[in-house]
Structure 1
């Protein structure tokens, strides 16, 4: 039965990583569900207050990294808050409109469209900002992947 329990926990962690590229999937909730199921299946004893404080700090770091990477990616290429918002909306809508590629095309189109419509930028500058949104998204995914690996590694150190 132990293999089944670990398989379920592992599947939740894998879904958490899928959520890094599909933002509609709340990655953090799947990681937390894995921790809680470990407690239900095995024991909550390893999870002291220190464990939850460290995991909470990692969760805060995930959200901060996501926002900062997107903002820096757009602002480095001359974008504004409108570009950040357009990119975020594109990131959420893109995968539904264009499966798989929408995850990259959505933020690009969202940032370009926002800069063209809201800030009345020329097309060339808007394209550059759209590229920055993709750079920001990719940077965010890489950073959050590392953080989630650290979260799971810490969990494993505590429970094994």
Structure 2
């Protein structure tokens, strides 16, 4: 009987507790490496979307200036040189106010999001100021090349 029991025990296949723990440790290490990397990729894609929005808005403002739109040119010639995103939509240079990539289902609203157009000699200089990641009124300004200036 005892030899039969030993024979059955030798034929059993499966993982020991130590092997199982080793697999769990390996999975934990892989997860610890992968999760921060994925988070970084998501944040980078949001940063890229923000930059793309800034460039699109600047191009809309350039088109408005080139078309010599009265409303837009009046804003440029005012003391603050600011064109709101809603102005660009109202005058037909943007289809709609873009969505803020950092805040789900929220567009750039309020007076914190605008294009500044200043004249430097015979040339216009464009910058766009948009809500940043927090959406709490802190802003980031982008130049015509999409570089964040502050």
Normalized per residue, the structure richer in strand is 2
TM over 0.5: no
TM-score, length of structure 1 as denominator length: 0.29
Normalized per residue, the structure richer in helix is 1
Structure (1 or 2) with the larger CA radius of gyration: 2
